[in-house]
Amino acid sequence: MTKPDTEAALADVIKSATGPLSVRGGGTRGMSGGYAPLETGGLSGISLYEPGALTIVAGAGTPLSDIDAALAAENQRLAFEPMDHRKLLGTTGTPTLGGVISANISGPRRIQGGAARDYALGVRFVDGAGNIIKNGGRVMKNVTGYDLVKLMCGSCGTLGVLTEVSLKVLPVPETSGTLMLRNLSNRDAVEVMSAAMGSPYEVTGAAHCAKILDDAPITALRVEGFEASVAYRLEKLRTMFSDRKTDMEIVPQEMSDWFWEGVRDAGKFSEAEGDVWRVSCKPSDGPALEAASEAEECFCDWGGGLIWFRTRSGSDLRAKLGSFDGHATLVRASAETKSKLGTFQPEAPGVARLSAGLRQRFDPRGILNTGLMGHE
């Protein structure tokens, strides 16, 4: 196992590599592959934090807990609410900043605040040839030329190994609350969530789950901000859906935080057997996809645009869903099933050609996370 503690040392390791490397941050997502491990944990530490400028810069191997602690001391936070995979996957280790950015890990707040990539201001990374590359800066207006920052977000280490990330952060709101509606059908829930997100009440979370508090399906709408504003907007949402003739309840911040942490981390599947899939789709397609899935259970986030499915082990969910406007990622399964079905949705021919061209440019030897995203 190789764990360089400087950017230059990382570049030397990659330059001298004679075979594929499995890039790993905290090892919490179970995606390190079977090649020579290359850890980024040595590239750790916060090098700059300017609360007044809402900016933080840290090494890619910095534990996310260190980032959260530094921000919390100034009543700030990462706005994109990144998922913690450890309970779902049964992994150990510590999530790292580089792992979150390289996989573009974004939680329930994505519907209102945007994804992880929307807060990445700049990156430093080492490409597959061992070149050190910097792109972006420490303010939003500093991005010129090709936006490699966005390109690195979601590339899962196949184009380069992140060494440093600069991020925009946001203040923690005074309070939050959630309106819960019970016993809506999947289709009615999508209608409610879509209407709420289209309202002026600034909903920061919209999810539909069964068997969270009891056996009744729960459709949840979160609002954050100043206490008086939150109370006002939640009451307006309650009035907005009064014609639904269903039980509604406004829950306080403590229960709201507990619920959304479970949604963020797919907690309801952590103790259950079977494979777990993550499907991005148009919200209006969600009910039909859920009906076609033959899944053991499912729940949706992002107003219906993200659906989590728990299926029987070895089940090919992509085959059951057929063609749709979106993609299905196999998050939890046996090594045999992942080898057979692949973690990521196969790319369309045109997209595959673009991906191959990018990989040839940034990793001409094909040594970074080989095969992880379908590229060999």
In this chain, the answer to whether the domains covering 175-264 and 267-341 adopt an identical fold is yes
Asked whether the beta carbons of 160 and 368 are under 8 A apart, the reply is yes
Q: For 228, how many CA atoms within 13 A lie in the half-sphere containing its CB?
A: 0
What dotted CATH number matches 7-171? 3.30.465.10
> For residue 227, what are the contacts with CB-CB under 8 A and spacing of at least 6?
174, 175
- Given a cut of 60, whether residue 140 has pLDDT beyond it is no
Over 70: is that where the pLDDT of 208 sits? Answer: yes
Percentage with pLDDT > 70 across the chain = 95
pLDDT(179) > 60: yes
Q: Which residues of 43-70 are buried (b: 16+ CB within 10 A; e: fewer)?
A: bbebeebeeeebbbbbbbbbbbebbeeb
Q: Dihedral through CA 238, CA 244, CA 249, CA 253, nearest 10?
A: -60
Each residue of 35-90: pLDDT tens digit? 888 999 999 999 999 999 999 999 999 999 999 999 999 999 999 999 999 999 99
CATH of 175-264, one of 3.40.1280.10, 3.20.20.100, 3.30.70.2190, 3.10.180.10: 3.30.70.2190
pLDDT band of residue 312 (cuts 50, 70, 90) is very high
Reported as a pLDDT band with limits 50, 70 and 90, residue 30 is confident
Q: Which residues pair with 176 in a beta bridge?
A: 224
Angle at 51 between CA 50 and CA 54, to 5 degrees: 90
State which fold the 267-341 domain adopts. Alpha-Beta Plaits (3.30.70)
What is the chain's mean pLDDT, rounded?
92
Domain range summary for the chain, segments of one domain joined by +:
7-171, 175-264, 267-341
Confidence (pLDDT) at 376:
47
**What is the C-alpha end-to-end distance of the chain, expressed in Å?**
22
What does pTM read for this prediction? 0.92
Average pLDDT, stretch 168-187?
A: 95
Predicted pLDDT of residue 29: 85
Coil, strand or helix at 193: helix
The answer to whether the CB of 207 falls within 8 A of the CB of 299 is yes
Identify which has the larger pLDDT, 100 or 30. Answer: 100
Res. 375: pLDDT tops 50: no
Burial of 145 (0-12, 13-18, 19+ CB in 10 A): exposed
Q: Tell whether the model's pLDDT for residue 149 goes beyond 50.
A: yes
Banded model confidence at residue 271, pLDDT cuts 50, 70, 90: confident
